[in-house]
């Protein structure tokens, strides 16, 4: 049995890969909000505390330093919906 990690709001269990993706997306968004707040001189999100410090001060800069081809290759190898490919376009059928 695979180990599961709890994530508030998603029910009792969620896979580690899903938790990692959601957490990554969240802190990348927070970092983008901080950058936009500084650019437009508006109030930024609250300062990071606890584990947030790791995500915002270590993970986000490391993620942004990795070239896109490497990030893309890593994402393709991880489980999740981002591995799904586009379906072929279905041509509309005329009247029978």
The string of pLDDT tens digits covering residues 28-78 is 999 999 999 999 999 998 988 999 999 999 999 999 999 999 988 887 787
Q: Estimate the share of the chain in helix, then strand, then coil, as percent rounded to the nearest 5.
A: 55, 5, 40
- Judge whether 78 lies within some domain: no
What's this model's pTM, rounded to 2 decimal places?
A: 0.68
- Judge whether 84 lies within some domain: no
- CB contact at 8 A, 53 and 85: no
- State the total domains in the chain: 1
Residue ranges making up the domain that contains 35: 4-73
Q: Which residues contact 4 (CB under 8 A, 6 or more apart)?
A: 13, 14, 15, 16
Q: What is the pLDDT of residue 6?
A: 47
Q: What is the pLDDT of residue 40?
A: 96
**Which of 4-13, 14-23, 52-61, 87-96: highest mean pLDDT?**
52-61
């Amino acid at each position: 049995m695979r180990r599961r990690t709890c994530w508030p709001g998603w029910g009792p269990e969620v896979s580690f890969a899903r938790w990692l993706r959601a957490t990554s997306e969240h802190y990348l968004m927070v970092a983008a909000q901080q950058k936009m707040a500084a650019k437009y001189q508006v109030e930024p999100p609250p300062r990071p505390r606890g584990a947030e410090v790791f995500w915002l001060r270590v993970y986000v800069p490391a993620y942004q330093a990795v070239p896109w081809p490497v990030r893309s290759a890593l994402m393709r190898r991880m489980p999740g919906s981002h591995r799904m490919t586009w379906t072929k376009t279905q041509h509309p059928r005329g009247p029978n």
